């Protein structure tokens, strides 16, 4: 099937996999470590903003973008493969990461707090995406028709 992929999205927990070198990496690529998911979702005009420039207005805009999608799923949710198949016909999806395995490295308490501060809007956006995904999974469990194919 050929589906209009821009009508659905998949999200994974923000900053999953950060390690003990957070402060060093933040200096090398600040935008990647400052609300990266929100930046990518809103595109080029936001992607290039300096660190610390993301605001609650950007968060509200990103929530509107997510709300406009017909399907939002969480990459590691057990319901994602069957929901994705029902909604799009894609039958071979596997989760991005085994969340049952312990992290290979750990961040310091200082870096963890810095990451939470630097990515507060990403964390809020992910919380919103979790709620949307739960609603979407529930509605597809109810038997909604597949997303329309691209002509």
Query: Residue 70: what pLDDT?
Result: 86
Low-confidence ranges of the chain (pLDDT < 70): 1-21, 94-105, 143-151
Dist. CA 74–CA 38, nearest whole Å: 16
Task: Provide the whole-model pTM.
Answer: 0.75
Query: Residue 67: what pLDDT?
Result: 92
Dist. CA 54–CA 68, nearest whole Å: 21
Dist. CA 66–CA 41, nearest whole Å: 9
Dist. CA 106–CA 46, nearest whole Å: 30
Give the max Cα distance, the chain.
52
Query: Residue 9: what pLDDT?
Result: 63
pLDDT tens figures, 93-107: 765 555 566 656 677
Query: Residue 103: what pLDDT?
Result: 59
Task: Give just the sign of the alpha carbon dihedral 115, 56, 8, 30.
Answer: negative
């Amino acid at each position: 099937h050929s589906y209009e992929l821009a009508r659905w999205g998949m999200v994974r927990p923000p900053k999953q996999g950060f390690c003990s070198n957070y402060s060093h990496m933040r200096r090398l690529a600040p935008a990647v470590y400052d609300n990266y998911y929100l930046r990518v979702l809103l595109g080029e005009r936001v992607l290039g903003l300096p660190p610390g420039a993301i605001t609650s207005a950007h968060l509200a805009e990103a929530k509107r973008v997510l709300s406009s999608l017909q399907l939002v799923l969480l990459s590691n949710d057990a319901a994602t493969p069957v929901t994705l198949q029902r909604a799009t016909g894609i039958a071979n999806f596997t989760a991005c990461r085994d969340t049952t395995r312990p992290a290979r490295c750990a961040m310091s308490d200082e870096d963890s707090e810095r990451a939470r501060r630097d990515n507060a809007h990403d964390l809020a956006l992910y919380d919103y995406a979790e709620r949307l995904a739960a609603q979407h999974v529930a509605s597809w469990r109810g038997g909604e028709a597949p997303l329309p194919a691209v002509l």
